[in-house]
Every structure is written in C-alpha cells, then in structure tokens.
C-alpha cells in the first residue's frame, strides 16, 4: 500500500503545479513522512556508521521510506512519459481531474480540523497566500546564478515539494532558476547540481523538523494552514488557461512560462466542457471512494 502511495506521489510530481506532498496528505501518510525525514539526523546516521544497522533502520522508519521511494521511482520511470504526453495533448482534461481531486481533498482534510476562530483565520490567510504564490501569471525573478542563490533555491524548492498544493518545480520557475538547473542536469554540470542538492538536503531536514514540531504543538492550526494551501492552489490547477509567455527547453520545444486563467467560453482551443466537468466530478468522487474502501479494508 505504501508503494502505491509512493507511485501516486511520483505521478503528481510529474505534473508542474501539483505537489507530491498533496498526495501524501490525501493518502494519510503526511505526518509519518515528515517524522521519517526528520529522523534522518546525525544521531541516527552515527548508528549506521557504528554498525547498529537494525536500530538505525527502525529509527528512520526505513521500510516505510524504502517502499515509498521505490513507488516514487517506479512512477517516474513508468508514468512520466504518459503524464507528460497527456499534459501536452489533453491539458484541459488533466487539469480538470486534478482540480476535482484537490477540491475534494480540501474538504476531506478539513473534516479533521477542529474549527474555531484561530483555525478559520489561519485557513483563510494561507489560502490567500497560496492563491497569490501559485498564480499562473506570476513573472519569474531576474535570478543570479551565484552559488549562494542556487543553494537557497534548492532549500526553498524542496520545501515546496513537501507542502500540499505547491509544486517545487513551479517555485523554481518563479525563482528564475528552473531553466538554469534544467540545463545543468542535461549537461551534467556537476558543481551547480551538487550545490543545489546540498541546499535541498538542508532545506528538507530543516523544514521536516519545523513541520514535525508544528504538528506536535499546534496540530489543528497546522492542518488548517495546509488545508488553506491546498484550496489556494486551485488557482494554478484551473483547467482553462491562456499562455502569456513561453520558454524553450533544451530540445527547442516551447513550453508555457506565464499563463492567465480564463473562462471556458474564452478558451482559445477546444474547451471540452462536458468531459472536463465529468473528470472534475470523477476526481472529486475518487477521494471519497478511496476513503470508503480504506474503511472497509480496515474493518
């Protein structure tokens, strides 16, 4: 089951604008994932290097991480081309499905929040923040390719990847480093890749510790904030968009850089309204179907 959840996270990460953290949140493994990441600390690493392998494995929830990572990698290898093809050829339908999925997830996760004025205020604030961060019209920063900035981008992007509703690749676009890092990976430019990875590791461990502390001391407020992030991210996932500017990848293929949400009636292509509405409904219903099956299996 953890393997399948990992596949879901991998499939989501292929879609620019959808976070693997959202899938982890939906499938009920988010807190466990944060705790496992937090456990990869110096104290447990010392256990590994001193030969205490069983204790190390148990402390970091190794079996969980192993199956989750295996699922993510399997999804990347098997579904990446399919998801990319669908996104390029049927973008309205792909976004419609995820729109329904995340809309239902917001309701599903929101059921666990004890609503009061503090959680409502937190929910609204983070929904508004997420709405503006994920706006498809946001212009990328004029970035510098200095080592310190690459390190910072790695730390910020990895944090976004484990936040429900915010895509790390999309944040990298906004920070102005997406094309540079894409080129570095394509050309095996080792120095910026290593600097970026160092930033990602430091950012991931630091952010996991922060989230774990927040869940421990302010669980309802943290859940309300994450639910708000998911609701606000619907701004990015709206199925009908108009491209404002583009960029060329290393193969010279043009991709959308900035976009604007439009009504289906103003969409320049085929709006596919009927199929889009059906997929929104299917994505919405799927969350509650999965919940129903999970309850039956648990009994």
Tens digit of pLDDT for each residue in 267-292?
888 889 999 999 999 988 887 777 67
Beta strands in the chain (DSSP E): 241-248, 254-261
Q: Which two tokens stand for residue 198?
A: 């160092």
The whole-angstrom separation of Cα 160 and Cα 166 is 6
- The reported pLDDT for the residue numbered 17 is 57
Least confident of 16-20, 57-61, 206-210, 266-270: 16-20
Beta strands in 62-118 (DSSP E): none
Question: Stretch 11-24: mean pLDDT, rounded?
Answer: 67
- The reported pLDDT for the residue numbered 249 is 61
Tens digit of pLDDT for each residue in 153-196?
888 888 776 776 666 666 776 777 776 776 777 677 888 889 98
The whole-angstrom separation of Cα 29 and Cα 39 is 15
The whole-angstrom separation of Cα 242 and Cα 260 is 5
Global pTM value = 0.72
If residue 32 lies in a helix (H) or strand (E), which one and from where to where?
A: helix 30-38
| Domains of the chain, residue spans | 2-298
Tens digit of pLDDT for each residue in 56-91?
888 888 888 888 888 888 877 776 677 667 777 888
* 3-class secondary structure, 52: coil
């Amino acid at each position: 089951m953890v393997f399948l959840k990992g596949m879901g996270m991998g499939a989501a990460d292929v879609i620019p604008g959808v976070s693997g953290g959202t899938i982890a949140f939906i499938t009920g493994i988010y807190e466990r994932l944060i705790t496992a990441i937090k456990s990869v600390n110096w104290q447990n690493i010392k256990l590994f290097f001193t030969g205490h392998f069983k204790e190390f494995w148990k402390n970091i929830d190794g079996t969980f991480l192993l199956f989750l990572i295996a699922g993510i990698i399997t999804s990347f290898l098997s579904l990446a081309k399919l998801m990319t093809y669908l996104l390029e050829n049927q973008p309205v339908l792909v976004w419609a499905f995820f729109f329904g999925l995340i809309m239902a997830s917001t309701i599903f996760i929101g059921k666990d929040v004890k609503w009061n004025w503090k959680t409502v205020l937190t929910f609204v604030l983070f929904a508004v923040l997420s709405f503006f961060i994920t706006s498809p019209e946001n212009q990328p920063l004029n970035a510098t390719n200095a080592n310190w900035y690459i390190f910072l981008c790695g730390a910020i992007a990895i944090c976004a990847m484990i936040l429900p509703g915010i895509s790390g690749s999309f944040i990298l676009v906004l920070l102005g480093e997406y094309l540079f890092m894409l080129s570095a990976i394509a050309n095996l430019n080792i120095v910026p890749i290593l600097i970026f990875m160092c930033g990602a590791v430091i950012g991931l461990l630091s952010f996991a510790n922060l989230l774990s502390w927040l869940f421990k001391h302010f669980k309802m407020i943290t859940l309300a904030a994450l639910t708000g992030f998911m609701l606000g991210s619907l701004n990015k996932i709206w199925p009908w968009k108009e491209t404002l500017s583009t960029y060329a990848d290393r193969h010279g293929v043009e991709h959308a850089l900035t976009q604007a949400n439009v009504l289906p009636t103003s969409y320049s292509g085929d709006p596919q309204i009927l199929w889009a509405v059906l997929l929104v409904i299917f994505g919405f219903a799927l969350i509650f179907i999965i919940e129903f099956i999970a309850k039956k299996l648990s009994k």
